[in-house]
Amino acid sequence: MESLSSRSRVSGPIVKFPRDENEYRGIILSNRLQVLLVRNFSAKKAAVSLSIGVGPINDPKYYSGLSQLLLYSLVSRDTENLEIEYGLAGFLERNGGSAISLAYNDDTSSITFEVNATALNGALERYQYQHRFFKM
C-alpha cells in the first residue's frame, strides 16, 4: 500500500478541548478527500468512517436505488483475491469488529466499522482493495 504521506498534505490547525488527550491530525489527500486522524493510545478498538456527498437524490432517473446498491457493494463479502479472504466483512468478524453501519440520507452516504486496533491495517487494506472498482 502506498504511503499516506506521499499523497497528502496537512490541513489547518485542529481545535480541541484542553483536557482531550487524543492526538489529532488533519490531512487532505491528492484527490481532495479531507481526512481526520484521531489517535487514542489507550483504545483497544479502531474505527473507520467514510462519508461522501452522494446519496439517493443523485440516482439516475431510471435507476432508483443505485446509490444504495453501490454502498452495499463496498462492503460485500465477495472478492476475487484469495489472499484477501471473505473481504472486509469477514475480516472484521474474525478480528473483533462490529457490524458495518451503512447509512445514507438524500445527499450523503456513510460507512462505519470498528475492529481490534491491532487489525486496523488489515481492515484498511481490504477496504482499499474493494474500492478499486470505484476509482475515477
Query: At 1, is the pLDDT very low, low, confident or very high (cuts 50, 70, 90)?
Result: very low
For residue range 116-134, what is the model confidence (pLDDT) as tens digits? 999 999 888 887 776 665 4
The reported pLDDT for the residue numbered 73 is: 67
Question: Does pTM top 0.75 for this prediction?
Answer: no
Looking at 57-61, 71-75, 82-86, 101-105, which range is the least confident one? 82-86
User: 97 pairs with which residues across the strands?
Assistant: none
pLDDT greater than 90 at residue 95: yes
What would the DSSP string read from start to end of 27-63?
EEETT--EEEEEE-TT-SEEEEEEEES--GGGS-TT-
- For the chain, which domains are there? 1-42 (no CATH), 44-136 (3.30.830.10)
Burial of 125-134, coded b for 16+ CB within 10 Å and e otherwise, reads ebbebbeeee
